[in-house]
Amino acid sequence: MKTINKTRILGTNGPKVSAIGFGCMGLNYAYAQTLNKNDAITLLHSAVERGVTFFDTAEMYGPYTNEEIVGEALSSIRDKVVIATKFGIGLKDGKQIQDSRPEKIRESVEGSLKRLKTDVIDLYYQHRVDANTPIEEVAGTIQDLIKEGKIKYWGLSEAGVNTIRRAHAVQPVTAVQSEYSLWWRRPEEELIPTLEELGIALVPFSPLGKGFLTGKISKDATFGNGDFRNIVPRFNAENLAANQNLVDLLTRVAVEKNATPAQIALAWLLYQKPFIVPIPGTTKLHRLEENIGAAAVELNPEDLEKIKVALDSIKIAGDRYPEELERRTGL
């Protein structure tokens, strides 16, 4: 049985977690291939048995049912794991809206505590920045919740650097969750330098490019009903074909390292900065083992330079989000 025994610290004074965490969203939400509750719980138990200690969910996943799965799976070993969840996205007339008013945050935290079967949330992210609620007001509410013992640490998801600085000035931010991978490198421009300066961890979601960097998605791929990738421009046939150069690069390096493309993609993230903790998700045990195996892959400076040179020559085709969803990020 493959296990992960490498750990990292979230932020300057945050909790110690496994170097690779588990993104729980896809267990029962956003993708066509999901698991029933019992199978999802079994997979989470398998992750814990293999050394994973960092689990990521959100009240909006399901909605609400993802937290219930995580809570039921991890309640018996609560003191051995770090659970992150999120507030700030609600539903109105069937559509998602940002809402981080103080009273809404308090309502959300009580719901999450109940569904997660816990007395305290380890890491509580604002899921998306609410342009109608000043971030200082959000940070102040979080500060009160920390004093009340409802949460231990807090973070932001897909926030811009100015928002991060303003939030951090009121209540120190432990982690920022944002998309970051070999095919989405924009965080390198402003976000990662800012986090390094402030002592904040980066938790990349979609570190495998929503499955693309595994090398298992061809240009002819189709996705089932309800799969989020159906509306993502990067996953249309033309862009999938154009982006195969990146998979070819990963495959070449993987062969040299006796690894898989997915493992190279995750290992590359780990080698970027010591404060990066990716959270790949999966519904399959063999993929879970593959993902955690990435922590054992060694990339030397020559490997990293070779990947960098090759990356610089590859132009990634297609936007990562539809325009409406992209507008919610980087505020």
Is 180 annotated as catalytic? no
Which has the closest alpha carbon to 264: 214, 206, 209, 211?
214
Query: To 10 degrees, the CA torsion angle through 150, 74, 268, 157?
Result: -30
CB 122, CB 153: distance < 8 Å: yes
**Hey, what are 183's tokens?**
């095919």
How many CA atoms lie less than 13 Å away from 306 in the CB half-sphere? Answer: 12
Name the catalytic one among 31, 61, 153, 180: 61
Q: List Cβ neighbours of 48 (8 Å cut-off, separation of 6 or more).
A: 74, 77, 80, 81
Tokens linked to 256: 């040299």
What is d(CA 94, CA 97) in angstroms, rounded to the nearest whole number? Answer: 9
Residues known to be catalytic: 61
